[in-house]
Amino acid sequence: MPVFRYRIELDHPVERVFAWHTLPGAFERLTPPWEEVRVREREGGIRPGGRVVLGLRKGPVELRWEVEHTAYEENRLFVDEQVEGPFSRWRHEHRFSPLGEGRALLEDVVEWEAPLGSLGRTFSESFIERSLERLFAFRGRRLANDLDLHRRFEGRSRPLRVAVTGSTGMIGNALVHFLRTGGHEVLRVRRGRGDGGGSDLHWDPGAGTIDRSGFEGLDAVVHLAGEPIAGVRWTRAKREAILRSREEGTKLLADALVELERPPEVLVSASGVDYYGDRPGSEFLTENSESGEGFLAEVCRRWERATASARAVGIRTVHLRTGIVLSPAGGMLGTVLLPFRLGAGGRIGSGRQYMSWIDLDDHIGLVHHVIGTPSVRGAVNATAPNPVPNASFADVLGRVLGRPTLVPLPGVAVSAMLGEMGRELLLQGQRALPEKALDSGYRFLYTDLEDSLRHQLGRPQNR
C-alpha cells in the first residue's frame, strides 16, 4: 500500500500548532482553492467519533467523501480515516513533535489505496502522488503563513468579536475561516434568517432593515457586501444596482453602528483602486492621490462617503481600496484560468494598463492588520507592492501554467462584447502602491506575482 509523507518545520510551539487544528475553520483554510470542496455535514471535532462529509466536485459530478476521526493524543497526534469516498482506503495521520526553542515539526502520513484495484494502481498511482505533493505543499505554506499572521497580534487581552458582511463571497468566506482559526468569534451578516444556529446577524439593505442590537459590543465590523460588478453588461438597471448596493448598504450599516450604546472600535469598509480612475502606468498612486473619472471611480467615492456618520462619532473607519484579488476560487483569476489553460490566453488591449494585484492571503492578512492597528484609518490601498502591466501578468500566468500566451484580446473586441464594463474593468489600469500598509508595519506574504500564482494554483517551481 502506498504511503505518502510530508514534513514541515514551523516556528511556533507545538501546543500552538496543534491547537490551531482544533479550531473552527482549520479544515477550510487547509483546503486548496483550486479544488471545489464543500463541507456537507460535520459532527464533533478532531477527537475520535468526529466525522466530516465532503462534496468533492469533479466536472459535472460531485463525489461524496466521508471521513471519521479515529485517534487523538493532545499535542501529538490525530487521525482521520475514510468511511466512504473516492479511495479504496485512506488513512491520514497528523503527527506533531516539539523541536525545542518554541518550534514544532508537523508530519502528515497518508496511507492510501487507489480505486479499481490493480487497474487503479496502474493508471492512478503517479497522478495521486503528484496531487498529494501539490496539496500538502500548499497546506504547509498556508499553515505557516496563517500562524505567522496571527502571532503579530497575540498580545491582545482577549479574542475579538467581529461581524462580516459579504461573508459568503470569496474574500469574506476566507476571512471568516481565518479569523476563527485565530480564536476569534465571527458573526456572518446575512440577508436571510440563516440556519437558526444563532451565529448570524441579519439585514436587508434593499428594505433598509438591520438587526442593530446584534452589533452591540462588537470589536470590529468588516463590510464587504455589494452587487457584483463583473459578469454582465452594465445596463442602466445594473449600474443603479451596483451603486445603490454600496452606497445605501454602507450608509444603513454606518447609521446603525452610530445608534449603539457600545459601537465597534473599527469599521473596515471595502472600496477599490478604481477610485483613481484610468491612470497612465508612469504614475504611482498612493492613498493621497486624487480620485479619477469614470463610473467605478464615482461608485468608490460615494461608497467611501457613505461611512460619514460612523466617522463623525469617532468610530475608526478604514476604506480598503482593493485591487485584483488573486485566487482560483473566484474573481478575475478564476475567470481567466480556463482560456489560459487551453492556450488561448494573452494580453488584453494594449497590455500596457497596470494591474494592481494582491494575493488573497495578503488581503485577509491586511484586514486583520488594520483591525489590530489603531493608528490606521482612512484609505488603505489593498494591493501588493509590485503592480504589473497586463501583458506581464499574462506572460507570468502562462509560465506558471506551462501554456503559451499568444492570443491577445483586442480592445475593440472588449468594447464590442462588454461595453463600458469591459472598458473600465479590462482596458483601464492603476499603478497603486500600498504606502499606508507598509508604513504601518504590514509585511506582505507575497510581493512577487509569480510566487503568488504558484501558491494559489499549486504550481511549485520546477526543481
Q: Please write the tens of the pLDDT for every residue from 369-394.
A: 999 999 999 999 999 999 999 999 99
Q: What is the DSSP letter of 212?
A: G
Residue 445's contacts (CB-CB under 8 Å, 6 or more residues apart) are 145, 149, 359, 361, 362, 365
The pLDDT value given to residue 124: 77
- Helices and strands per DSSP (H, E), number in the chain: 13, 19
Does 463 have pLDDT greater than 50?
Answer: no
CA-based Rg of the chain, rounded to a whole angstrom? 23
- Predicted TM-score (pTM) of the model is 0.95
The pLDDT value given to residue 119: 44
The pLDDT value given to residue 193: 59
Alpha-carbon distance 388 to 398, whole Å? 15
The answer to whether the 3-151 and 161-457 domains have the same CATH topology is no
Alpha-carbon distance 334 to 68, whole Å? 32
Alpha-carbon distance 144 to 139, whole Å? 9
The closest of 5, 30, 13 to 96, measured between CA atoms, is 13
Backbone phi and psi for residue 48, each to the nearest 5 degrees, phi listed first: -55, 135
DSSP string, 255-314: HHHHT-SS--SEEEEEEEGGGG-S--TT--B-TTSPP-SSHHHHHHHHHHHTTHHHHHTT
CATH number belonging to domain 3-151: 3.30.530.20
The pLDDT value given to residue 118: 47
Average pLDDT over residues 287-299: 97
Share of the chain above pLDDT 70, in %: 96
* Strand 3-10 with 103-113, pairing: antiparallel
The closest of 302, 305, 279 to 290, measured between CA atoms, is 279
In whole angstroms, how far apart are CA 30 and each of 156, 190, 300, 353? 25, 25, 33, 34
In this prediction, residue 216 has a pLDDT band, given cuts at 50, 70 and 90, of very high
Superfamily of domain 161-457: NAD(P)-binding Rossmann-like Domain (3.40.50.720)
In whole angstroms, how far apart are CA 87 and each of 3, 42, 81? 13, 20, 11
Neighbouring CB atoms inside 10 A of 176's CB total 23
Backbone phi and psi for residue 46, each to the nearest 5 degrees, phi listed first: -100, 5
Neighbouring CB atoms inside 10 A of 462's CB total 5
pLDDT digits (tens, 9 = 90+) for 44-61: 999 999 999 999 988 888
Using CB atoms within 10 Å of the CB of residue 265, give its burial: 0 to 12 exposed, 13 to 18 middle, 19+ buried.
Answer: middle
Q: What is the DSSP letter of 215?
A: G
More confident: 185 or 199: 185
* Strand 161-165 with 220-223, pairing: parallel
Instruction: Output the CA torsion sign for 381, 383, 385, 391.
Output: negative
Backbone phi and psi for residue 39, each to the nearest 5 degrees, phi listed first: -80, 115
In this prediction, residue 114 has a pLDDT band, given cuts at 50, 70 and 90, of confident
Poorest-confidence range of 31-45, 192-206, 235-249? 192-206
Name the β-bridge partners of 7: 107
In this prediction, residue 233 has a pLDDT band, given cuts at 50, 70 and 90, of confident
Poorest-confidence range of 123-137, 262-276, 315-329? 123-137
Widest CA span in the chain: 70
Alpha-carbon distance 463 to 461, whole Å? 6
Domain ranges in the chain are 3-151, 161-457
